[in-house]
Amino acid sequence: MENKPRHDPNPDSNRPEEPELDLYTIPSYSSWFAWNDIHEKERQALKEFFEGSSISRTPKIYKEYRDFIINKYREDPSRRLTFTEIRKSLIGDVTLLHKVFRFLETWGLINFLAPPPPHEGSENDDRVRVENGAPNGVRVVATPNSLRPLSAPVVKGKNSGDGVEESGVKLPPLASYSDVFGDLKRLHCGSCGDNCDSGYYEYKKDNFIVCDKCFKNGNYGEDKSMDDFELKDCREKSAANGTVWTEAETLLLLDSVLKHGDDWDLVAQNVQTKSKLDCITKLIELPFGESLIDSAKGRGNSSGTSMSMNGIKPVVVPSSEDQENIINEDQGYDGANENENNGDSENQEPPLKKKRTASPSDADSSIMKQVARISTMVGPQITASAAEAAVAMLSDEMSCPREIFYGDHIDLTNGSLSPSIYQQERAHNTEESEIKERSNPSVGVLPVLIIIIICKKIDSLAESQETHPKKSDIPLPLRIRAAVATGLGAAAAHAKLLAVQEEKEIEHLVATIIEAQLKKLNSKIKHCEDAELLMEKEYAAIEGLKEYILGERINILRTTYNTGTSKLLEHSSVQSQTSNLS
């Protein structure tokens, strides 16, 4: 904001009778202002004065207000002019006056050099503290009696323009939710803050729970009476005494989930012996149940009970959302996708997510580094699903890894699980092949993903080893070696491709530059030629003129000579004429 002198100072004035003008500074964006005139901006902002709707609002009145206010300010430019000071001196509606005042203040025509107003908000900051997220003891649920905590739905295929169609690969949202809300699974009493390990009582009207002890003591906060509370047994309790799932039932459950997706009524019907709640509970407890739900219905669901996944946390994998980001980086899509996908999440998530979305688009670090960095921020379910997706992609190209990966799927001890996993892989396969066609850059991250997949398999295998005898015949070290080899090979190929691409681009650009230079030269030459032509024509014209003038002169001399002149003059004038001519 530059300062622009309002009047020109006349220090060395040759007109001593003129008074010294004062310099007032106003910002350069207000240079349209003129004392004698009302500018269009003023007419627009303060329409009331210019509509002729009332006798109390005319342009003349506006000008008087404006001039008075500005002059009042300029009596002492260093102090802040307040509205109250001027409204006592002006006749008119105070609301309208305030509008004029604010207009002048915004444009810096008054109070430009004054100190800023004392900030009243600062003292209030000590008294009020804004906290993010739900308070302790309150759990946000989708419906008042459900036990499943709410998480943000993933928006389907909201990519820019010709972007990738993300039809079937729906993955759970960023796992920060589970990290953050994981411990809310243990319910806290609203009044005493203890964990409600035994049964707890839920207030019917709000999300308020008290533990057993508090309820019995009558210590449940104000405004609540005993009958407003409902007894709800702890999930652990119910889980302990409750349901036992046979393999057949589990298989049935998985099939129906894949078929019906989110429709728990139908699922419960299929699995006749178990209620809706039990189905949901069981599904969540299953190690891959999360991804099943997600792939089946395309909505993010994380409940944090991914116990088997917790083992992989230290070695994590970027989400396929990250993949998506890399895919879309070429299109300049800023990772806002992640935000969109989790648009409706609770308060705590947006700040965390925003931080995260900045890094993927940071193009200077290599993809590997990005992958490594992002993977440390992201949680397990994403790794699982993304890794599976990546595996599918690579497996299309190479058969050896496929054997290794799918080999142990089939050999997974829990026979009921395998068909569903297989289905999942198939589903991923089709989508991934589509994605593959459209995106080459993502190839680079696959090697890392593969390594991770291996670890996950190892983990799950290790688990299954405890309960069942080991059936897989492909030894662990071989798998690892194969994975590493594949990874490195893929990375090398990718690098080479990139280098070739770069070279081509360079050549292309150089050619363009040379072309441009040639064009410039050509136009310059043309310009010079045109100028030459012009000059030649002009020269010819001037020559013609010269001859003409010469001819005229000769004529004049002839006539003078013919008419006869005095003897005295004759000699001298002819002499001088001839000397001139020569």
Partner 1 sequence: MKSPASASWKAPLKFRMPTAENLIPIRLDIEVDGQRYKDAFTWNPYDPDSEVVMFAKRTVKDLKLAPGFLPQIVQSIQSQLATFRSYEGQDMYVGDKIIPIKLDLQVNHTVIRDQFLWDLNNFDSDPEEFARTLCKDLGIEDPEVGPAVAFAIREQLYEIAIQNVTSARENRISKKGRRAAEHFTPSKASGAALDLMKLFSFRSSVVRKRKEWDYYKPVLDLLSNEEVDALEAKEERSGR
- Residue numbers of the site for partner 1 (CB under 8 A)? 54-56, 58, 60-61, 64-65, 68, 82-85, 87-96, 98, 117-118, 120, 222-223
CB of 54 or CB of 217, closer to partner 1: 54
CB of 59 or CB of 419, closer to partner 1: 59
Residue 51 CB, nearest approach to partner 1 (Å) = 11
Of 360, 365, 367, nearest to 448 by C-alpha is: 367
Of 148, 129, 195, nearest to 290 by C-alpha is: 148
CB of 31 or CB of 89, closer to partner 1: 89
Pairing of strands 229-232, 25-27: unpaired
CB of 96 or CB of 309, closer to partner 1: 96
Residue 224 CB, nearest approach to partner 1 (Å) = 13
- Token representation of residue 571: 């000699």
Residue 220 CB, nearest approach to partner 1 (Å) = 16
Residue 104 CB, nearest approach to partner 1 (Å) = 14
Of 163, 237, 175, nearest to 383 by C-alpha is: 175
CB of 90 or CB of 455, closer to partner 1: 90
Of 477, 458, 454, 468, nearest to 416 by C-alpha is: 468
Residue 249 CB, nearest approach to partner 1 (Å) = 48
The type of residue at 467 is T
Q: What is the DSSP letter of 227?
A: G
Residue 81 CB, nearest approach to partner 1 (Å) = 10
Cα–Cα distance measured from residue 319 to residue 172, given in angstroms and rounded to the nearest whole number:
9
Cα–Cα distance measured from residue 342 to residue 205, given in angstroms and rounded to the nearest whole number:
28
**Neighbour-count burial for 472-509, b at 16+ CB within 10 Å, e otherwise:** beeeeeebeebbeebbeebbeebeeeeeeeeeeeeeee
Beta strands per DSSP E along 117-269: 200-203, 208-211, 229-232
CB of 65 or CB of 181, closer to partner 1: 65
Residue 48 CB, nearest approach to partner 1 (Å) = 8
Residue 21 CB, nearest approach to partner 1 (Å) = 24
Question: By three-state DSSP, how is residue 188 classified?
Answer: strand
- Outline where 286-440 has alpha helix (H): 289-297, 320-329, 336-341, 349-358, 367-377, 380-397, 399-410, 417-438
CB of 117 or CB of 161, closer to partner 1: 117
CB of 58 or CB of 439, closer to partner 1: 58
Residue 64 CB, nearest approach to partner 1 (Å) = 5
**Distance of alpha carbon 49 from the chain centroid:** 43
Contacts for 303 with CB less than 8 Å, ≥ 6 apart: 148, 149, 178, 185, 284, 290
CB of 127 or CB of 567, closer to partner 1: 127
